[in-house]
A and B are shown apart, each in its own frame.
Chain A
Amino acid sequence: MADNFEKKISRQMDDFKIHPSEAVWQKVDAQLRKDKRRRWFFFLLSVGVLLGSGSFLIYERSHNASAHVRPQPVAISSKTGANTSKENEQLKLEPSSSAIPSQRNDAVSENNIKEDNKPVLQNNSFPNTISKSAAKTKIVESNIVADKKVTTMRKPASSNNISANHLPAQKTAINSKAEPVKKQTVHLQTPVVDTTVQITGVNNTPVDKQSTNTQPASTNKKTTDSATRQVALQEQQRNETVTPNEKVAVDSPAPEPVAAKRKMQTGWSLNAGITDVRSSVIPAKGFTTADTYAIPLTGTSGIPGGLSGLLSNEYSIRSNVQAGVGYAVRFPFGKKAWFVTGVQYQYHRFSVIERVRRDTFSAAQNRLVSNFSNENKTAFNFHYISIPTEVQWQIAQTTKGKLMLGTGLLHSFKFAASTALPSFADSTSAAAFYQPIIQLTPAYEWKTKKGVMQLGWYFNYGLLPVYNNVSKNHWWQTGLRVQYWFKTK
């Protein structure tokens, strides 16, 4: 019958109930709300990370795709007149640059193509007798990209159109030197014929050939002429407006130098400054009256007889410190801009001084007298996890660095708030969970050994009130920001 005892206990305990205090539900409810906010925070964080990584992948893919279809600007000077038109007729018969007629291939093979049909690169350099200072120089940079050749020219504005007809009779000798080069810089005397071509060998083996002639006087002439014609054909096909009898001076616009590919950069961000809570960007001064009560005049009998003064609760918000640190990542955006995001910890603190003001009329002095009492200073601490979404624009470039302007939003999510006085604990929990802060950060960045250092001065303004229950009082912050971006390998 031992079980009977347990059954009795169990049955009796089943009916046992105790009413919990109201505080239990309040705590449970507060915790559930916090969970909800946390879920939102992690949801937004994961969305931000996904968007960031997705946009990075899209950017990388599009960037790689564009690298394969790089335009091929060519600087050309072609012959004109009767010869040109004649040659054009011949050239028109030639299908494309990839199939060079045999006679021209012969001319090429005479000089440049080895019997094994391996690619031959010929470099015609100039004798040392040419004085750089005496000559008006032109820098021709030839970049070989895949099957195409990109010629980049930097030249004085005055020497735009260069025609073969203007060539002087006596030119320099050319040293042939079979040396495969990918990139070369040649200093030429102006006027100059600059021709950069790539032609295909007999069995379509690509033959890189670069000839730089000032006078078609040697065996290279054939090669140069044929190459020139080939390129001229391509150019003519592009520029239909050029008539055969016209004196042609086809110079494509000087292409810009091929900029180094900008890559995503990771780094850290550190900021520190002052913060305040104001209803406007311009900080106010002094105390603000929170509420005012009339002090009743009490007679000798203890019965209130009228107004004897005013009692006001006043407060003043004082600036305090603000600091943050975090991991940042920036993606190239457009030609000269970066999109910056990441995760940061931000700390804000502001102080409130409370006091009681008592305005009474002094009959002796015949004026209102103000007395202050119960002055109380309290600091409020706020801890945020922030996700910056900022665009850094390059607005100027100097010899040593770049002047940037950062604009964007700092999405801040409160995860803790505290104050020194327990009586203000409720007011800290009433602070807004989400705080978008608009940022304006002029900055200067310069290269270092291991990356890029950026020093800026930030101006922040909170777009939402600091507290849920107050319609105004926004954050504003200012201070210094340091960002360091590591070199991408």
Chain B
Amino acid sequence: MQHRQLIKDCIKQKPAAQKELYDLFAETMLAVCYRYTKSLADAEDVLQDGFIKVFRNLSAYREEGELGGWIRRIMVNTAINFLKKKKEYQYDMSFLNEPLHPVSDDNPEIKLRTKELADLIRQLPSGYQTIFNLHAVEGFTHVEIGQMLGISEGTSRSQYMRARNLLMTWIEKYNSELKTSSYGG
């Protein structure tokens, strides 16, 4: 493992190694946290809590998978706990039963830049946003999502479909606006 020595030093609580590990993963992990929250400040709070957990539990890392994947999982769990605790997120976690948005294209072309796409995902209602991130980006199954969020598999599946359709609609709208502006420009 490429990070073996770094992990050992971090377990020994060497500040230089801890900083190195942080620098190595902080940017990627902040992007993960950013997708789950509504503001950068909240994302940084999650990142801070997440890294503290990482350093406290690094001795429990078994080197079975990539270190980045292990840290990412901790960040995702920290983000979910953060959303559960924050009052302003709890309203959106109630999973509103809105009608499904019909979409014309099931696989639209994504012309957005990465940051714009992330911002678009963050505009989803919190419940949709969380489930969409967990399934589409992180790759969790609906059974796993149900266990993580304390909801049924069916609820996770239906909420995901709503989130997906909503996002597709927004992407299509963005694409059409882009087309219009390019024609106009």
Contact = CB atoms under 8 A, between A and B. Distances in A.
Interface string B154-185: 00000000001000100000000000000000
A42 B157 CA distance: 47
A28 B115 CA distance: 26
Contacts of B110: 8-9, 12
B171 to A, nearest CB: 9
B144 to A, nearest CB: 15
A16 B47 contact: no
A9 B136 contact: yes
A17 interface: yes
Given A5-B107, A8-B110, A13-B35, A20 B44 contact: yes
A15 interface: yes
Given A1-B106, A19-B30, A32-B18, A13 B117 contact: yes
A24 interface: yes
A31 B31 CA distance: 22
Which 9 A/B pairs are nearest by Cβ-Cβ distance? A17-B27, A16-B31, A6-B136, A18-B30, A16-B114, A20-B30, A28-B51, A13-B137, A9-B136
B128 interface: no
A253 B139 CA distance: 91
Interface string B25-56: 01110110011000010011001100110011
Contacts of B135: 6
A5 B106 contact: yes
A13 B19 contact: no
Interface of B: 13, 15, 18-19, 22, 26-28, 30-31, 34-35, 40, 43-44, 47-48, 51-52, 55-56, 106-108, 110, 114-115, 117-118, 135-137, 139, 164, 168
Given A2-B106, A9-B110, A25-B19, A17 B117 contact: no
A27 B164 CA distance: 36
A4 interface: yes
A66 interface: no
A32 B30 contact: no
20 contacts: A2-B106, A5-B106, A5-B164, A6-B136, A12-B117, A13-B114, A13-B137, A16-B34, A16-B35, A16-B118, A17-B30, A18-B40, A19-B27, A24-B44, A24-B51, A25-B19, A25-B26, A29-B18, A31-B48, A32-B52
B22 A25 contact: yes
Contacts of B55: 28, 32
B16 to A, nearest CB: 11
Contacts of A21: 44
A10 interface: yes
Given A5-B136, A8-B110, 14 more contacts: A2-B106, A6-B135, A9-B110, A13-B117, A13-B118, A18-B30, A18-B31, A19-B26, A23-B44, A25-B19, A28-B22, A28-B48, A29-B18, A36-B13
A380 to B, nearest CB: 27
Interface in A325-377: none
A100 to B, nearest CB: 73
Max chain B Cβ within 10 angstroms of own Cβ: one of A5, A20, A25, A32: A20
A18 B27 contact: yes
B136 A29 contact: no
Given A2-B107, A6-B136, A9-B110, A17 B18 contact: no
A1 B107 CA distance: 7
